[in-house]
A and B are shown apart, each in its own frame.
Chain A
C-alpha cells in the first residue's frame, strides 16, 4: 500500500490541535491607556521563579502609561528594563529576548498601531516564543485589534474593586473585566478576574458572580 501523500497543511493542523504550548505570544489590549489593569493581568500569568522579565517599552508608552515600579509588583519579580524609542526596536529587542530561555518572560509594550507591527512581525514573535518556551506578552494601548498572529488576544479593563476587609471606604482586591476575543486553543469568553497580589493568584469568574459582591460593596459603601 503506498504511503499516504502528506498534505501541506498537515503539520499545521497537527500543531493547532496539539493543545496550548507552554509559552506563546499573547496580546493584551487596554481599555484605557492610563490603567495598570493590563499590566497586572499579564504579570498575574507569569511565574516569578522562572527567571527575570525583559521589559521593553517604547517612548510614548513610558510617557503615557508610566514605567514599571518594582515596589508595586508581586514579590519575586525581577526586571531587565530596555527603554527604546521606536516600535521596531521594541520588536527587535523582544525577539532577542525570546531567544534566551533563562528569561521568565518578555513584556513588549507598543503604543498605537505602527505599520511595523503587522502579521509577519507577530508571527515571528509567536514562533520564537513557542520554540524557546519563553512567554511573550504584547501590551497594546490606544490600538485597534487588526490582523495579527497572537495566539490569544485579550481585552482588559478595570472594574470597581472588591471589598477591603477592614476599611469599607478603601479600594480592596482588584477586579478586572477580561475578554478573550480571539484564541486558538479555547472558546472566547468574558470573565471577571480577581487578583490576589499577596498570593499571586488569579481567579476568572463568570460575570454573574460579580453581581452579589458589587451590590454588597455598594451597600456597605452607601
Chain B
C-alpha cells in the first residue's frame, strides 16, 4: 500500500517517453499516475538505448486506428456517405499489436501521415467580432483610429487584441493599457468579451462542418479540421482552402490556413508558414526543420529553456538524441514536453482531431446556389436520400436532425425522435411538420444537411399478406407524430405499481414503446375518473359512523342517499411522511344519482391532527 502511494505521489508530471508512439495519445490534462505506465516507460527507455534510430516504417505499426463512428453496433457495410474517416475496420487486434515484430509492419497498417489536417488560425477574432458588432449598431470603427480590447491583468488592464491601426502605432498585445496610452494617446480601449469570443468560436467550429465532418476548437483562436477525403468534394485542397478563406472573409474574419499531415505541422504552418500552405507528407520533416521551437505549441518557459540550451529551431531539436531529450524533460507535463510535441508534429505520435460530438454516420446535404430562408422544399428529397442510404446499410433512424448552415456563420438545427427505428421518408419528413418554423434561418442559409444522429439496426420485415400494416408500427408512428408536436412528456401510458394508495397505483409516464402492463381483473371497486388532487368538501351534517349525510362540493349541496364502505387504506410508512393519516373510502350516491368516491383523512383521536377532513377523490360512472 505504501509503495503504491509513493509511486503515485512521484508520478505526476512524469511522461512515459517512448521511442515509438504509444497506442493511445494522452489527452492534454493532468497526468495520471499509473504504475503500468512507469513500467512501460522503463521498458521503452531500455529499448531506446538498444536501437537509437529505428526506421520510421517500424514505428508505423502502433498507430491507433480510429474506428469510424457507429452509434450502435458495428457497421455492416462501409458507409459511402459523406466524407467519413477512411478507416472503419474495428480494431480487434489491439492486444496483438505489442507482440508483433516491430520491423515487419503488416500491410493493413495505414500510413501515419495519410491524414490531412487543416488548421484555421483566427488571429484577430475578438477584434473583428467587436468591429462587426459596432457596424451592426451603426457606428463603425474608422480604419485609421487605433483601438484595442483589454482584459484585466494583475496590475491593471492589459491589451488583449488590437486593430491593425493600433498595431502599426506600436500597441502590443500583453502590454499594460496605461503604457500603451502613453505611446498612443488617442487609443480607444474597450473591455474584451472573452467568454463571448469562446462561444463564437464554438459556433464557428460547428459551422465549419460544412467542409468536413470532424472539427474541433484548439486553443483560443484556432479550429482544427480533419479534411481527409473531404477536399475532392470542394475541388482539391488548394481550392478548398481558398473557399474557406473566402467564406470567412465574408463573415469579416481574417484567417491563416494551412493543411498538413499532422495537427502540429498544420498549427505551425498556419501560424508561421506561407499563405494557404499545403504540405505533402514527404516533405514534412524538411519543411518543419527551419521553424523556431515555439512552432511546437510549447509555452514560454519551455521555449526559453530550449533556447538557453541552444536549440532554436525544430531541426535543431530533431537531431538531438531522443534519449537525452526524454531524460531532460521527463518531469514535464505532456503538453509541455518538447519531445512529445515533436513526435506529434512529425507524425510519430498520433493526435486525432477531438471533435466534441461525433458526426452522424448517415447524412445527406444539399448545397444551394443562393441563400434561402425556408428549408421546407428541400426536406422531402433529403429525407428520401437519407432513407435510401439507411436502407442500403440495413439501418433505421431513431433521431434525425436537420441542420442549416447560415450565411452569417451560425448553425441552427431541429431534431425529431422516433419511437422505433424507421426509414420511411414520408414519415420522417412528416415529423418535421410545424417544427421547421422554429428553425432560425438568420439572413438565409446555403447548405442544408439531414443526418440520422442515432441509427439502429433495422432489418426488413414481411408485411402481412392482407395488406394491413403491423400494429406496432402504426402505433409507433402515431406516437412519433404526437411526440414531435407536443413533446415526449405529453404522450403517456399507465404502468401499474405496487401500491394501495389510489393515486400512486397508476404511474403515467412517457414510455410509448413499453409493452402493455397486465392488470389484475378483479379488485375493490374503483371510480372511473380520479380527481388529482383530491378536492376538499365541507360537511354539513355528519353522522358518527359512515359518510356525511350532507356535504357541499363545488358550492353545491349533495345529500347522500346511499353509500358503501368504508374501505380503509393505510398510509405507506416506507414512503409517506410521518404523520400521514389513514383514509376511509366510501362510495356514495347523492340525490341526483351521481356516484362519488370520497374519503375521510384520518379518524378522530388518532393523535395525528385535528378533526378529520373529507375529500372527494373520484367519480364513478
Contact = CB atoms under 8 A, between A and B. Distances in A.
B523 A71 contact: yes
B335 to A, nearest CB: 53
Contacts of A54: 478
A70 interface: yes
A171 B621 CA distance: 11
A81 B490 CA distance: 8
Given A69-B506, A100-B474, A100-B475, A161 B595 contact: yes
Closest 10 CB pairs of A and B: A40-B621, A66-B529, A170-B564, A72-B526, A158-B593, A69-B530, A171-B589, A71-B526, A72-B528, A36-B619
Contact of A93 (B486, B505, B519, B589): B486
Contacts of A131: none
Q: Which of A66, A89, A157 has the most CB of B within 10 A?
A: A66
B533 to A, nearest CB: 10
Interface in B454-504: 468-469, 471, 474-475, 477-479, 481-482, 485-486, 490-494, 502
Interface string B327-367: 00000000000000000000000000000000000000000
Contact of B587 (A34, A80, A171): A171
Interface of A: 32, 34-37, 39-41, 43, 51-52, 54, 65-73, 75, 78-84, 89, 92-93, 96-97, 99-103, 157-161, 164, 167, 169-171, 174-176, 195, 197, 221
Nearest to A176: B621
Nearest to A70: B494
B491 A36 contact: no
Contacts of A51: 471
Interface of B: 468-469, 471, 474-475, 477-479, 481-482, 485-486, 490-494, 502, 505-506, 508, 512, 516, 519, 521, 523, 525-532, 553-554, 561-564, 587-589, 592-595, 618-621
Given A35-B594, A174-B620, A101 B490 contact: no
21 contacts: A32-B592, A34-B553, A35-B619, A37-B621, A66-B530, A68-B528, A72-B530, A72-B618, A81-B492, A82-B490, A82-B492, A83-B492, A101-B468, A102-B474, A103-B475, A158-B592, A158-B595, A160-B593, A169-B564, A175-B593, A197-B621
A75 B588 CA distance: 23
Contacts of B490: 82-84
A195 B469 CA distance: 34
Nearest to B531: A66
A163 to B, nearest CB: 10
A78 B563 contact: no
A101 B474 contact: yes
Contact of B528 (A40, A80, A221): A40
Contact of B506 (A71, A99, A103, A197): A71
Contacts of A103: 475, 478
B492 A164 contact: no
Contacts of A221: 561-562
Contacts of B485: 89, 92-93
Contacts of A35: 594, 619
Contact of A174 (B516, B530, B562, B621): B621
Contacts of B618: 66, 69, 72
B561 A160 contact: yes
A96 B485 CA distance: 11
B187 to A, nearest CB: 57
B519 A75 contact: yes
Nearest to B524: A71
Contacts of B502: 69, 71
A160 B561 CA distance: 9
Nearest to A84: B486
B330 to A, nearest CB: 64
Nearest to B527: A72
Contact of A96 (B468, B482, B493, B508): B482
Contacts of B531: 66
A65 B494 contact: no
B319 to A, nearest CB: 73
A83 B489 CA distance: 9
Contact of A80 (B468, B492, B563): B492
Given A68-B529, A97-B478, A100-B477, A158 B564 contact: no
B494 to A, nearest CB: 5
Given A69-B506, A89-B486, A81 B493 contact: yes
Contacts of A82: 482, 486, 490-492
